[in-house]
Structure 1
Amino acid sequence: MQYSTFHRNALASALALALFPPFAALAQAQDAQQPPPAEQAGAPAETGPDENARTLDTVTVTGSRIKRAEIEGPAPVTIITGEQIRKEGFTTIYEALSSLTEVTGTVQNDYDWGQSSVNASPLNLRNLGPGRSLLLINGHRVADYPLPYTGKSNFANYNNIPTGIVERIEVLASGASAIYGSDAVAGVVNVILKKDIEGDTLRARYGTTTEGGRSVREASWSGGRHGEDWSVAYTLQYFDRKPLWSHERPFMDEESDSPRRNWGYGGVQQGVATNTPQVGIRLYDVASDQRIRPPAGACDQFGGDFYEHNRILYNDFNGAQTDTGWQCANRSVFQYWTLRNGSKDLSAYVYGTKQFGDVEAWATVGYWDSTGKSNTFMPDWDSPNYIDAGSGREMSLLRYFVPSEIGGIDRALTKSKETNWDFNAGLRGTVFNDRFDWDLMAGRAEYELREHFPTIHEERAAEFFLGPSLGIDPATGLDIRAPDYDRLWNPVSRGGYDSVRAVGDKQARTWLTQASFVLSGDLFEGWAGPIGFAGVVEAARQGYELRPDPNTLGTDPVYGTPFGNIETGGGDRNRYAVGVEFKVPLLETLTLSAAGRYDRYDAVADDAKNTYNLGLEWRPFPSLLLRSSYATSFRAPDMHFVYADASESVSDQTDYYACLSDPNRQTSNCPGGTGEPYHIDNPVITRQGTQDLLYETGDSLTYGFVWDAFDGFSVSADYWRIDIENAIDDVGPDDVLLDEALCRLPGSERPLDKPERAPPSQALCDLQTGRVTRDDNGMVTRVEVGPINRAQQSVSGVDVASRYQLSTAAWGTFDFALNWTKQLTYKVAQFPGDPFENSRDRDRQMRYRGRASASWNIDKWTTVLFVDWIAGRRSDRYGGCTALPNGFRPDVATDCTDLREDPDTGARSITYGQQSELVDYYNQDQIYWNTSVGYQATEALRLNLYVNNIFDDHYQDKWCGGFAYCVANPVGREVAAEVVYRFD
């Protein structure tokens, strides 16, 4: 097919002048005989005698299995090349993909509390969640990451794809289940690996940050060879990125680094961020509710990590102070947390082909070995209550360890050792006189993980700090101990620490065996052109297994665990699918695409799922494409949603049934904190998977245009919308208890502090009331939680993209690219009947983001300037009230006015009648500039220099809560140098 080059018209010139005024003027000064601009990445070079025409080979583009000559199709596809990834300053595939404007959702941070994936990086396309986009490698599925995201659902890891093996990445950010099956709800990311390499290339790169920490070392060797009937391509890559520690960023190493206007009442009084600084060493007298003061100078012995702190509780109602004693408190609570995890990776990749007559055999094998490093806690031991043999008092103690005691900060790291290998092989050829292409493949992928985390052995720690048990106190049933308090108050030797240290060992594995057969080609010549066809048959078996350290299980573990809720589970299931796709030219300028697919999964309450999509392409002029697509999609329940074993934890809850049925309650809410009337003290919370889940279903709509306005300039704009029904998510204990109350007391009003939603349905009532267990006195003892089909979601927005290339005789070649996405709506209804309104601003979603690049090539020099920006996200505290000067934060329901009165005495609060402001604040736009400069020193040698985040911006929410992750980018400016040497 040929593309004609358009003569500039008035509208094209106006666009050029508006978007790139200086370069438009320069372009007009050039004579029309200038050579045409280079093609976009992935497009073939210009051929033929007509300099105003280009002939394109047929290629397969993500979103269709039918080969086509046109780069653009009925749904927009974003392409980013491997070379572009490097020039824009990215060292990993995940970093590059995260900069795409289609990625409008956030994911769990490296330094989140309770982080469940030390060495994994999920992607959140269209803000629909990490599990709702499909990752493909060379068009084939990959094994899931072995650990569930946030302990609940499976996802693909974008962190284990080495940059050295990537030819290009194609991203389709709309539903594509009719082509690829489950998970392709928000889109598909297809990573195309290098297959055709001639010669060898060595790369070596070193980088660091200008503020210190997080150095990066990278080396790779890639190459290829060809014979008359064979070829081979190979890549070996080493990558080592050190963790970034919080103490290397002093503005993020303690709670007091949060803005003072966010501090609570007690924090304002004490000059600290919170009322209760994190404990370092504490000896507690249970009977008197007092902390025993440390010996003089004890806290100062730990290298400045601890300080002596008088823990005073401040009543923000009447200003009363309660002295609870003294302790050694942490000076910088987060200083030994990692703000960015470290990773050391070794990867290898080989792709080979061999021709046997008209049939080509191919095989590819990839191997990735990695160790991730993370830390969000320091080793500590919190003793059970005991009877002090000397004083006869009931006591407890808490002891944190510091790096000088444990043998260095590296011994506090959680290390995730991961191995991922993927092997695929197949045959391909043509049939019926080369009319149809066929491809038969089979493959196996396995992903294994072994996570080691330092912890404290409960029994050995008790012996070390408390001494052996001297018997059982008959009054309390507690152990009688004769503690050696010198061990508590003085630094412990390395040997002493090792005597109580233990290392947890968590193991997990996923696997995938798959096979497929694809047939594609032209069925026959239609009235307006050939009728394209593709058919696919697929079969697969996937499985997973979570094997936590058995010592961390049970209600009285041998090892203390950092987070307490241990995920276990395992199972496998089969998947079968068949699909067809057609491309039908209706007119010379109008093409219809249609696809349908049947998928069946084991262990799903639904039997199977049918999906389809339709697309239209209309080219009223050779340079203008008007396009639209509609697709249905689905997602099978995640393996961990189905096969998770029962696990237990405990946490305080609120008894809403007791609250709503209490005729004497004096508040419109249900106070359930410690000491309050509707408090439930540590009921058992149990969670497990279920095979009663239905498929998530969805649909997506896109429409827009692509305009090749004139030589070197194109622009596209597309509207998109994605809807999901029956979305699977956990129901938490608070929801279960509230629904139980509303179901048992029909017509009751919801507490004012609970969001409005429809009354629970009868089906939901049957489920929720059965999940609450009460004893003979009506007290809640157990709450069952877990996944159900409950939510409805919808997102919509607009994508705009443009490219411009200008070639000059004297000044070289200029390339410009701009991508911009605006999220128009974000809607979520947690349960059927809930309000389904646009909550984009209320839920602090980003409004828009963009990426742009400008590159200049002249002689031996290449320069690239790249900018990534996110804007329109409201403050973390948006919709709440700012704090009064004493730290108290009124409620929105009182118009941000303090109207508190003591229900017993009628006394008013010390700030009664004072009013603060409503937070209606947008965060500062996050704009990061990268640049790279390359110099071709010789034909074989190239030197590159990279600077990321040129202006060393961090961006902190001035209203954000009291935790360090309110900072958007703790890394700051990064610099790197690279040497590239190519030889035959």
Structure 2
Amino acid sequence: MTKFFSKKTSLAISISAALFASQSFNAVAAETEEEVERIQITGSHIKRTNMEGPSPVTSLSSEDIAKSGVTDLISLFTKLPISGQGTFSTQANSSDDTANGGSSVSLRGLGADSTLILVNGRRVSVSPFAKGIDTAFVDINNIPLSAIKRVDILKDGASATYGSDAVAGVINVVLRDDVDGVELSGKFGTTADGGGDEQSVSLVFGNQTEKSSHTFILEYFDREEVLYADRSYSKTANQAARTGDPLATDFRSSSGIPGTIALASDPSNRLIDLYGNDTCPEADRDFANNLCRYDYAPHMTMIPDAERFSWNYMGKYEINDTVRAFAELNGQNSKSIVRGAGSPSFNELTMPGDSINHPFADMPDHEFHGQDLTMRRRTVDIGNREKRVDSDYYRAILGLQGEIDDWSWEAAYSYIKSESVERGVDGFPNSRRIQEAIDSGLWNPFEPSSNSQEALDYIETTTTRIGKSTNKSFDIKFSGPVMEMSHGELMLAIGAEYREEKISDNPDDQFLRGDVFGTEATQANGSRDNTAIFGEVAIPVLDTLEVQVAVRHEDYSDFGTTTDPKISFLWTPSDDLSLRGSYGTAFRAPSLHQLGLGRTDESPNLIDTLRCNAIGNQDRACEPQEYTAVFEGNPDLGPEESKSYNLGVIYNVTDDLSFSVDYYNYDIEDIIDSDTQFVMDNFGLDPAIVERRPTSIAGDPGEVIQVNDGFQNIGDLETSGLDIDVRYNLETEYGQFKLGYVMNYVLKFEDYKNTEEGGFEQPEIRWTTSVDWIKDDFSATMAINFIDEFEQEVADNGKVDSMTTVDASFNYYGIENTILTIGATNLFNEEPPFAYHDFMGFVVNVHSGQGRFAYAQATYKF
């Protein structure tokens, strides 16, 4: 009862505070002045005469985005209260990541693969490199800010309109197509704590005539990397030493330099390497577990170096009074650099007992004398790992649109391709050659300083991973009035779409042979085609009530058919009050990565609970450690299916004060996932699933060598909550103030992992409140962003504290055709709250480690 009362109180206080604050980037797009022209809004194929429809849509204009101070689209989405767990930026893209340089958004916390990303109402291809092996996502870094006219966010399920992936909602990025003149803009920014300097330059130009329009946009963006070493709270993986907190963990690796020596026949019988000239540094000696540790954190990327060049063209040409041709051409080249500590080995390598480099060759009384040895050893001597990713993205849409009497039609062909090449250029050893070098005596793992450059060059390799994703489609649709009813026209939209998708993600032969350790790579190949037909009808039941019904039928080549309906309504009993609601089903087709993933090695942090129960914390069995997990795709996967409904009210209290409240509910079945910890806990003694090393210790099941895992339709998820939006305009002699507030309040979140609202990475409340001020040649914006507290990953460790940040900007318009801006995000340089679960000490999927980012921008139009 106490918890419920406190949350209700918090909600009431938040709503009250809304009357004095504003969400500057949550403004609804202005309604068109031309009442005769019909337009299409996000969430429907029916063209209508106003922007308001039955489904909840939030629109962010280019001005709203500029006020937020962000420099790329993902930075905007991470600030939105509706964004949840599963939204990921380039933060934490280290050498261990599989989606290097990529970013995407997860509405409602339902996953990036359950949020459909559109550009101008059409699909784009997914990244060829999946996130976390299996999450297919659209890399929104491909969309430069300078090209954006507005962003529409549809906040309910929309598979009946758009098909697969629209489970949580839809983000439709609308590009600029109406430029007449030239606009030049430049921006520079820097962080308070080092690293992360950014600069961008954009050139926008175009012209409009009676018969044609052309808009060209060029943008260059460059960002310096941020390492975990650049932040005091993440510069070491030894949380215990950094914080002095008895609950904190020493996350330093058990693979050190020169490392730990063990018997090949029984790796649990081991010694810290304190022999010879090169010995384990004193600070890294863990005598309690006989391990030479290594602090990898300072060498790892928090935010990667990124360089992007984008170009966009939007054009229309009027063929005659009723037919127009249009074209959309977009492209981008992006380069990214990610870093990690030197490659670790965990007993994969051996040294024969008669080796000339055997560390105990001159110690005949030592129990390891003449014995075959293995080791935990990090190849720091060949350098820290560095990956360079070079990606090209192309999108071409060619189409025709026009009118036949009162009906409008549109047909288009689209071709989208994304190609990426990832190269490991430093710090990657070839395990086959390194074993040969040990066997021949060329390379001594226990005396790094004695190894020649020839030996280091022999064991080091370069790696290559090539990915390609394509999407080809043809769509056609018609929209218009069917008949005149007593309360208006019955409107209909019908259409069809054919789409071919193909993806390939292929590392080089070294990966396929298992010759590269200390890194992760995926291999996936697949293709599919699908055909869809769809229809919508808008029924004017009353002058004040519109009911909309939509249905879409899809036929997939790889798992069958699905039909999804949706019904929604908009009731406007007065000019100031509207009620809306929707109910529909949605689905997410298995990704081509999940279906076609080849054998892929990962190194997740897991706890061997069965071994912990058997022997206690000997050998760190009760602590999180890296284990090798082997994943493979599952061609027998079925789709995720969901039901959702939304109920909302929009009320204009006065001409200056308005608010909206929407209740949402999602029920998703047969979620596709893998859960390696679940496999370890429940099948840890099955040798076909969890492979272990033999041991002579009674009762010890043995150290885990490998976990065999895969994807399956594993469970269900249900979530519900409230979206609240309040806006208030205030005219004073000191200028105009626009105040407002937006909040997402999660009432329920429950999944098959027993995650709940307020659980790990699931804050119950997120809100943003801000104020815009405009007077004469000046304007300013200030926004406050709040993320609620939530449980630590281990609930006994308490909660991850809430985080509040402040953004501010100031604009000057006093120079003709020029806008000058200075500003800062996270103005007071708030540090992310401490979390126990991982080495960096904060939750990278929820909180930002960028710190204060101050910037200056100038825009000139001529």
TM-score, scaled to structure 1: 0.76
Query: In the alignment, which residue of structure 1 is the partner of 2:261?
Result: 284
Determine which of 517, 520, 528 is the counterpart of 1:561. Answer: 517
Decide whether the 8 Å contact of 1:276 with 1:311 is kept in 2: no
Report the CA distance between 1:113 and its aligned residue: 8.0
Decide whether the 8 Å contact of 2:808 with 2:823 is kept in 1: yes
Q: Which amino acid aligns with 2:710?
A: G
2:333 is the counterpart of 1:369:
yes
Report the CA distance between 1:445 and its aligned residue: 0.3
CA distance in 2, matches of 1:308, 1:674: 22
Higher-Rg structure is: 1
SS of the residue 1:152 aligns to: coil
Report the CA distance between 1:543 and its aligned residue: 0.7
Query: In the alignment, which residue of structure 1 is the partner of 2:128?
Result: 146
Decide whether the 8 Å contact of 2:19 with 2:727 is kept in 1: no
Report the CA distance between 1:202 and its aligned residue: 0.6
Query: In the alignment, which residue of structure 1 is the partner of 2:351?
Result: 385
SS of the residue 1:159 aligns to: helix
Aligned residues: 813
2:799 is the counterpart of 1:854:
no
Q: Which amino acid aligns with 2:749?
A: Y
Instruction: Give the 5 Å matches for 1:474-553.
Output: 481=441, 488-489=448-449, 497-498=456-457, 500-553=459-512
Query: In the alignment, which residue of structure 1 is the partner of 2:274?
Result: 293
CA pair 537-132 structure 1, distance change in 2 beyond 3 A: same
Determine which of 561, 565, 586 is the counterpart of 1:633. Answer: 586
Determine which of 582, 593, 598 is the counterpart of 2:548. Answer: 593
CA distance in 2, matches of 1:232, 1:652: 52
Report the CA distance between 1:816 and its aligned residue: 1.9
CA pair 345-252 structure 1, distance change in 2 beyond 3 A: same
Report the CA distance between 1:638 and its aligned residue: 1.0
Determine which of 660, 664, 676 is the counterpart of 1:716. Answer: 660
Query: In the alignment, which residue of structure 1 is the partner of 2:573?
Result: 620
Query: In the alignment, which residue of structure 2 is the partner of 1:942?
Result: 819
Query: In the alignment, which residue of structure 2 is the partner of 1:93?
Result: 73
Determine which of 419, 428, 442 is the counterpart of 2:413. Answer: 442
Determine which of 218, 232, 252 is the counterpart of 2:214. Answer: 232
Report the CA distance between 1:444 and its aligned residue: 0.3
Report the CA distance between 1:601 and its aligned residue: 0.7
Query: In the alignment, which residue of structure 2 is the partner of 1:51?
Result: none
CA pair 706-312 structure 1, distance change in 2 beyond 3 A: closer
CA pair 645-284 structure 1, distance change in 2 beyond 3 A: closer
SS of the residue 2:679 aligns to: helix
SS of the residue 1:125 aligns to: coil
Between stretches 595-604 and 709-718, larger displacement belongs to 709-718
Report the CA distance between 1:710 and its aligned residue: 1.7
Between stretches 453-462 and 153-162, larger displacement belongs to 453-462
SS of the residue 2:653 aligns to: strand
2:30 is the counterpart of 1:43:
yes
Q: Deviations over 1:253-282 (max 9, x none)?
A: 1123456465579x8xxxxx3687762323
CA distance in 1, matches of 2:54, 2:571: 9
CA pair 958-518 structure 1, distance change in 2 beyond 3 A: closer
CA distance in 2, matches of 1:719, 1:452: 47
Report the CA distance between 1:709 and its aligned residue: 1.9
Decide whether the 8 Å contact of 1:545 with 1:570 is kept in 2: yes
Determine which of 711, 722, 727 is the counterpart of 1:798. Answer: 722
SS of the residue 1:422 aligns to: strand
CA distance in 2, matches of 1:165, 1:246: 32
Query: In the alignment, which residue of structure 2 is the partner of 1:824?
Result: 747
2:82 is the counterpart of 1:102:
yes
CA distance in 1, matches of 2:19, 2:211: 52
Report the CA distance between 1:774 and its aligned residue: 12
SS of the residue 2:548 aligns to: strand
Report the CA distance between 1:562 and its aligned residue: 2.6
CA distance in 1, matches of 2:789, 2:147: 36
CA pair 782-490 structure 1, distance change in 2 beyond 3 A: closer
SS of the residue 1:117 aligns to: coil
CA pair 448-179 structure 1, distance change in 2 beyond 3 A: same
Report the CA distance between 1:399 and its aligned residue: 5.8
CA pair 449-482 structure 1, distance change in 2 beyond 3 A: closer
Q: Deviations over 1:776-824 (max 9, x none)?
A: xx9999975322223111110000002222344x433221231111000
CA pair 927-132 structure 1, distance change in 2 beyond 3 A: same
Decide whether the 8 Å contact of 2:343 with 2:429 is kept in 1: yes
Decide whether the 8 Å contact of 1:389 with 1:482 is kept in 2: no
Report the CA distance between 1:341 and its aligned residue: 1.7
Q: Deviations over 1:505-539 (max 9, x none)?
A: 01111100001011111112111111111111100
Query: In the alignment, which residue of structure 2 is the partner of 1:347?
Result: 310
2:299 is the counterpart of 1:336:
yes
CA distance in 2, matches of 1:202, 1:152: 40
Report the CA distance between 1:72 and its aligned residue: 2.9
SS of the residue 1:640 aligns to: helix
Report the CA distance between 1:428 and its aligned residue: 0.3
Query: In the alignment, which residue of structure 1 is the partner of 2:9?
Result: none
CA distance in 1, matches of 2:675, 2:569: 41
Report the CA distance between 1:620 and its aligned residue: 1.1
Determine which of 169, 173, 190 is the counterpart of 1:187. Answer: 169
CA pair 462-735 structure 1, distance change in 2 beyond 3 A: closer
Query: In the alignment, which residue of structure 2 is the partner of 1:868?
Result: 785
Decide whether the 8 Å contact of 1:654 with 1:670 is kept in 2: no
CA-atom RMSD, angstroms? 3.9
CA pair 176-417 structure 1, distance change in 2 beyond 3 A: same
Q: Which amino acid aligns with 2:407?
A: F
Decide whether the 8 Å contact of 2:826 with 2:853 is kept in 1: yes
Report the CA distance between 1:736 and its aligned residue: 7.9
Decide whether the 8 Å contact of 2:255 with 2:377 is kept in 1: no
Decide whether the 8 Å contact of 1:111 with 1:376 is kept in 2: no
Query: In the alignment, which residue of structure 2 is the partner of 1:932?
Result: 809
2:287 is the counterpart of 1:313:
yes
Instruction: Give the 5 Å matches for 1:945-964.
Output: 945-957=822-834, 963-964=840-841
The unaligned stretches of length 5 or more in structure 1 are: 1-14, 25-38, 48-54, 268-272, 300-305, 315-321, 470-480, 660-666, 742-767, 831-836, 881-918
CA distance in 2, matches of 1:682, 1:940: 57
CA pair 373-181 structure 1, distance change in 2 beyond 3 A: same
CA distance in 2, matches of 1:863, 1:682: 49
CA pair 673-446 structure 1, distance change in 2 beyond 3 A: farther
Q: Which amino acid aligns with 1:457?
A: N
SS of the residue 1:417 aligns to: strand
Query: In the alignment, which residue of structure 2 is the partner of 1:886?
Result: none
SS of the residue 2:595 aligns to: helix
Query: In the alignment, which residue of structure 1 is the partner of 2:157?
Result: 175
Decide whether the 8 Å contact of 1:215 with 1:242 is kept in 2: yes
SS of the residue 1:384 aligns to: strand
Report the CA distance between 1:339 and its aligned residue: 1.3
Decide whether the 8 Å contact of 2:546 with 2:570 is kept in 1: yes
Report the CA distance between 1:488 and its aligned residue: 1.2
Query: In the alignment, which residue of structure 2 is the partner of 1:892?
Result: none
Percent identity of equivalent pairs = 22
Report the CA distance between 1:668 and its aligned residue: 12
Q: Compare the two structures and name the one with the higher strand fraction.
A: 2
CA distance in 2, matches of 1:87, 1:210: 20
CA pair 383-59 structure 1, distance change in 2 beyond 3 A: same
Decide whether the 8 Å contact of 2:503 with 2:527 is kept in 1: yes
Determine which of 839, 859, 862 is the counterpart of 1:980. Answer: 859
Report the CA distance between 1:711 and its aligned residue: 1.6
Between stretches 721-730 and 791-800, larger displacement belongs to 721-730
Decide whether the 8 Å contact of 2:273 with 2:446 is kept in 1: no
Decide whether the 8 Å contact of 2:27 with 2:59 is kept in 1: no
Report the CA distance between 1:485 and its aligned residue: 7.9
Between stretches 168-177 and 104-113, larger displacement belongs to 104-113
CA pair 739-622 structure 1, distance change in 2 beyond 3 A: same
SS of the residue 1:932 aligns to: strand
Report the CA distance between 1:650 and its aligned residue: 9.7
CA distance in 1, matches of 2:665, 2:821: 41
